[in-house]
Structures are given as structure tokens and as C-alpha cells.
Chains A and B, each alone.
Chain A
Amino acid sequence: MTDLLYSEEEEALRSAVRGLLADHCDAAAVIARCETDQPHDRELWKALTDGMGLAGLLVPEELGGQGAAHREAAVVLEELGRAVAPVPYLTSAVVATEALLVCDGDAAAELLTALASGRTVGVLAVPLSAAAGQTFTDVREEGGALHGSVTGVADAAAADVLLVPTAAGLFAADVAQDGVTVTAQTSLDPTRPLATVTFDAARARALTSDTDLAVRMGLRAGAGLLASEQLGLAEWCLTETVRHTKERHQFNRPVGSFQALKHRLAQVWLEVVNTRAAARHAADALATGSDEPNLASALAQAYAAPVAVHAAEEALQLHGGIGMTWEHPLHLYLKRAKADSIAFGTAGRHRDELAALLDLQAP
């Protein structure tokens, strides 16, 4: 049976990350940052990676990583979700790293070492909405140069290196060269901004010829661990709403004393409890390879995505007008939750995947 609990080490990691975020990632600053053309928080990224070595959790020690695994990365993502932190952790330290881990050869190993340090940010150049199992042909390779463009690439604006799937294989292209253009798009979730990436004879290094495997592994880990981000996000929404409804008085009593509101918050709590089990299950399955990582990831996304959206929507409603304002951070959580529900495939697509895995096909 998979281990669905947190170890002492994981709890220690959580409290260290939470402490760091409490000091370096307050909501007002995140709102202000998202309104600039530099939405990523590079100082926070440096503290998380240089300071704590978190970008290397999935990378073996011999390549400069921590040799930890998905369970620890999941705990980090819970905390990043709780803070809607604008850092490329999921994209670089999870998705890109996971894709590189199945590539042989020196180019991939070098890149893994660079990503593990956090001083290089790597992003898989596919749309954030892409799900494991899709194939990508928007970019073509000719004699070591890339041509074409991809839209909706999350955190591309923060990337130093793009991992680019083509029919001929997976390639690495440095962003700082003439043939690469990264154009910011206006994103529903300003804390995980999207960009269009265009390659015009960009020089690239070959990583593997098995593009499908590398991309599938990256996106599967993204989907599975996204559930932990969604868990952290939903928990923040629940905690803040409980606090608010205890403090906000209407009709001469705290609004949280009304049964209609209590039942709704209790329902969100129940969903959060379930999400924690699903997210831990996915993280453990990805770490150990047991109990079907494909099934566990699809299950986690099919369940966690609607829960995070529901928790954020309930939080907004139960905050009343305050929740509709720009000043209150709740809107960042709603935007992240809704974007997350599309990221790496919608819940409906994950249910379809489950249908195939479980031999429960549609009529």
C-alpha cells in the first residue's frame, strides 16, 4: 500500500518552506508584481533554490541534486499553492526535470545539473493545457536548428532554456539567442504567466529521440504533483474563509454561525481531506513507481481540479463583496485554481484516461 502520510522530514521541509514564503511572498506584493511586466519573483526563486536547494529535489545526487523524490516536491508545491507563489517550480523543477530524467547522454545530464541548482530555469515548450499522451508538431527541426512556434507556454518568460518537442526528438534551445522570441500573453492566472515562443532557425542540442516518452513523463509528473498545489490552494481558501466568517459580523452574530454557511465550509473541508489522500497517492506512486503512476496522476487530477475551483469559488462567495475586490488576494487564488483546472488536461480528459485504464469505456 502506498504511504499516504507525511514523514517527519516532509513536515520539517514544509515548515521551512512555509516560513520562507511567509517572509518573502506576501499577498499584496504578489498582486503588485503581477501588474508589472516581471510577474516572476526572482528573489523568492533564488531563496528557494540557492538557499534551500529545492529545485534539485527530483535530481540524483551525482548530478548535483538532492536525490529526494516526488513526495518532497509535492510538499513544496502544497506550500507554493498556499501562497500562489509566482515562481517556475512546477514547470522547471518538476515538468522539465522529469522530462530530462528519461533522456540519456551528456546534454541532458548537464542540463539536469543546471536545473537542479535553480540558476537555470528550464521549461517544456508545450501549451500549459496539454495533457500526457498528446504529440506536438508545432516546431520542426532541420540540421540542428528549430523552426515554428508554440503558444500558451507557462513560465516561458522566466526560462533560460526551452525543451522543445519535435518529430525528430526533444531538443534544448537557449532562450538568449537570436532565433528565439518569447512574447508574453495576457493570462487568466497572472501568477503563472503564459507566453508564445517562436523559433526562427534557433540553435538546439539534441536530448533524446524518444520525444513522446520524455514529454509524457514530464506532463504526467506535472499532472500528478499539480494536485498538491491544488491541495495547498484549497486549504488556504478554506482556512481564510473560516477565519473571515468567524470575524465578520452580520445580524449581530458572526456569519460563520449560520448553518447554511457552516455546512458549505464543512463540505469544502471534506473535499480537502479527500484531495490530500489523492495528492499523496499520486506523489507516492510517482516516487516509487508502484500502484500505477498513470492511474494515480489521472485520479488526482480528476478529483483535485474541481475541488480547488470549488474551494476558491466558495471562498469568494462567503467573503461577500470583499472577495470581489482587486485588493483582497482571493482573486489570485480563483484565477490560479481555474487555470490549474485546465493545466495538464481538464478533469474530463483525466476521466477519459481513467476510463481507458480501468476498462470502463463510454458507450
Chain B
Amino acid sequence: MTDAAELRRRTQEFLAANPPASTDRVDFLKARFDAGLAWVHYPQGLGGLGAARALQAVVDAELETAGAPDNDPRRIGIGLGMAAPTILAFGTDEQKRRFLRPLWIGDEVWCQLFSEPGAGSDLAALGTRAVRDEGGTSRSSEAESGGTWVVDGQKVWTSGAHAARWAILIARTDPEVPKHRGITYFVCDMTDPGVEVRPLRQITGEAEFNEVFLTGVRIPDAHRLGEVGDGWKVAQTTLMNERVSIGGSRIPREGGLIAPVAATWRERPELRTHDLHQRLLKLWVEAEVARLTGERLRQQLVAGQPGPEGSGLKLGFARLNQEISGLEVELLGEEGLLYEDWTMRRPEKVDFAGRDAGYRYLRAKGNSIEGGTSEVLLNIVAERVLGLPSEPRTDKDVAWKDLAR
């Protein structure tokens, strides 16, 4: 088992052999992957060393000190946070070799074709169809055995689809069985001619997301992840990792959305009122406590004591982001009545910090919807953490084709 001291030594050796200052960025990232320092908890040969996940921090600290380039984790967040752990858990050796390295380096951007207009919170109700075409041939020459799947349907809220090379996709392969059992998980080639990506404009005026229309998209069976009909189980791995990556970013005290509000309060005494003062302090306390809860969870994980608190992190931050940004608009008063720009734009990433209060207020409204609504997460906490009985379910034993929609 690799320990912290050995990892530190390996990282220093790696840095000596690949000095960041004189090594090309992509060459450096490839070498780092091949040295097993990309994600140390991944297996050897796949960018890791089979070490404890928490030890990544040791490597990252050494690399940061040395000024090493990073792999742009925001742009490739869906690949790193969702596609990679799913491929690692369910992919064939061939799939792992093919996909993980360009994914980690950032050569190939990934997106996630899960949500549909009729299947949001109830994701398992999805209607995008994948039908096996035994006689057909795939565009790809990589793999012909097992035939090809033909996919038709519509996906929505797809971040980064316009920039993505690959997508993780769930589709219905059997409408005759209950919804959770008839789903299969695929890797979809976004350059297939049947894939059409359209910008989806949202409340902020921007088109951060996309609608994706799939018409006769051909996917070789070699790009299936997991067994046919087993896609829901595979998707659970993706979704668990999504929630971790949404709620789990580490922030300093008075980081996050409370920062601009506190700064405005300190700098602009003319805006202060009793009412705003009380609300600001209440939210400051809640933001700090939420931050400490996240920090404590991280320490628990390092100590090998995982807790259920992670389920609550995203819930807590969604509510706080909304309340704090709502207060900020009011605090600014006359300025809060203005907006920076309604022109439709396609931002590279969601950045609350570089924007005005109105943008923060409107964009934060999505925090309780994207990546699992707060209502669904509260049910998960109530049922899985507290062990409360679930509401009566009428969808468990009904064939998907017979469900109400």
C-alpha cells in the first residue's frame, strides 16, 4: 500500500524528471497520467497507483508548489466527476484504456445525456429508445462484434454538449419491463451525424445548457457500459459522483456567495439598515456552519469514517446560495434593480464570482433543481439516512410503456 511519504517522494521524482517550467503542458499531463499521479486511487496503468483516495491531496500539494499545469477541471468536470468513475467501475479493459487518458488530460471533453423533458426528477422514466440493429454496421471501425444500437430521443439540460467529444447516455432498451429494469448505459459519439445540439436559453439570458436531439444515432455495442438492461445501476454510480462534485468544493471562510455581500456591507455604510444587518449575520452564520460541515465531512472521509452528511451538502448550499444572493439584490437597492446584460451568450463555465448580483440571484435558482432537485434529495435523506418509510409507489411493478405521463 502506498503511503503519504512514498507518494511525496514519487511526486518529487516525477517533477525532477518533468520540470513544469520547461515541459510542454500536454506532455506534462500525459507523463503525469502515465506516472500514476493523475488520480492516485485509480489502478496502475490507468492514471493511478491504487492508493487511498485521500492521498491525492499530497500529490496535488507538491504539484501546486512546483507550479505544475492543471487539466482544467472546470471545463472537463463532467468527464472527471461523472464519466470517469462510471467507466472505471463498469467499463471493459478496452474501454478504460481508450477513454480515461484523453479524458483526464482534457483532450476529449465529455457531457451527460441523462435528463429528458419528461424525465427530470423521475429520471428512470426516460423515453429515449435504443434498438439493437443486428444487421447494421457502425460508422466506427473500432468494434463490430455485438452489432450496433440505433438511438432516437431527446435530452435536455446538457452542459457542454456543444464542446463534447463523447457523452454518457442512458436509453430505454426494453419498454415491456418496469422502468428501472429496461435501461441500458452507453458511450455516445457526439460527432455522429444523428446528434443535433441546440442551445437552451435560460432565465439569466445565457445559454449555458443544450437540448440534444438524437435521430438514428448509431452506437456500437462495444460502447455499452455494463449489461443490457442494467443501465440504472450504472447510472447510480454516475449520479452519486455528480452530487459529490456539486456539493463538495472546498471554500475558505467567507468564500462563496457571502463574500460579495460582506464586502459591500463593509464598504458601503450608506446601504445599511437594521433589517439587512440581522439577515446578513444570520446568513453569515449559516454559511460558515455549512462550510464547517463540509470540512468536517472531508476529515471524516480521510479518517475512514464516511458519513451521510454528503447528502445534505448540496441541499444546504442550494438554499444558502439562493437566500444570500436574494439578500444581495435587496442590499444593493437601486443598483440591484439593474442587470448586466440580457444578450444571449454561451459561457464556458458557471462563474458566480465574476458576475453581478442579479445574475447570482437568477442563476442560484437552478442550484435546487440541477443535479437532483432539493425535494428529491430531501426524500433521499428522509428515507436512506433517517430510515423513514417511503411514500406509496405505483411505478415499481408497471411496465414502462404503461406508466402515466
Residues of A participating in the B interface, judged by any CB pair closer than 8 Å? 34-35, 127-129, 151-152, 185-190, 194, 249-253, 255, 258-261, 309, 313, 316-317, 320-321, 323-327, 330-331, 334-335, 338-339, 341-343, 346-349, 351-352, 362
Contacts and interface: CB of A to CB of B under 8 A. Distances in A.
Given A186-B341, A325-B201, A351-B275, A316 B333 contact: no
Given A251-B395, A326-B201, A129 B374 contact: no
A342 B330 contact: yes
B160 interface: no
Contact of A188 (B115, B275, B358, B395): B358
Among A151, A317, A334, chain B packs the most CB atoms within 10 A around the CB of A317
Q: Could you say which of B120, B275, B395 has the most chain A C-beta atoms within 10 Å of its C-beta?
A: B275
B158 to A, nearest CB: 11
A360 to B, nearest CB: 12
B368 interface: yes
5 contacts: A127-B334, A129-B333, A151-B334, A186-B338, A348-B275
Interface stretch (B216-224, B245-253, B303-311, B397-405): B397-405
A342 to B, nearest CB: 6
B339 A334 contact: no
Nearest to A319: B369
A313 B366 CA distance: 11
Contacts of A351: 275
Given A186-B341, A309-B326, A342 B378 contact: no
Contact of B275 (A127, A341, A346): A346
Contacts of A260: 375, 378-379
Interface of B: 115, 119-122, 125, 156-157, 200-203, 205, 273-276, 322, 326, 329-330, 333-334, 336-342, 358, 361-362, 365-366, 368-370, 373-375, 378-379, 391, 393-395, 398, 403-405
Given A253-B394, A316-B203, A317-B373, 10 more contacts: A129-B334, A188-B337, A252-B393, A252-B404, A258-B375, A313-B322, A317-B365, A320-B369, A327-B201, A339-B337
Nearest to A127: B334
A287 B205 CA distance: 41
A331 B201 contact: no
A189 B358 CA distance: 10
A327 B340 CA distance: 20
B389 to A, nearest CB: 13
Given A260-B378, A362-B274, A187 B201 contact: no
Contacts of A188: 329, 336-339, 358
Given A317-B374, A320-B373, A362-B274, A342 B333 contact: yes
Given A186-B339, A252-B398, A362-B274, A152 B391 contact: no
Contact of A342 (B203, B336, B373): B336
Contact of B342 (A35, A334, A339): A35
B275 A324 contact: no
A251 B122 contact: yes
Contact of B339 (A152, A187, A349): A187
A321 B120 contact: yes
B375 A331 contact: no
B396 to A, nearest CB: 9
Given A129-B337, A252-B404, A338 B120 contact: no
B337 A128 contact: yes
A261 B375 contact: yes
A241 to B, nearest CB: 13
B340 A334 contact: no
A363 B394 CA distance: 56
A320 B365 contact: no
A128 B374 CA distance: 34
Contacts of B391: 258-259
A317 B329 contact: no
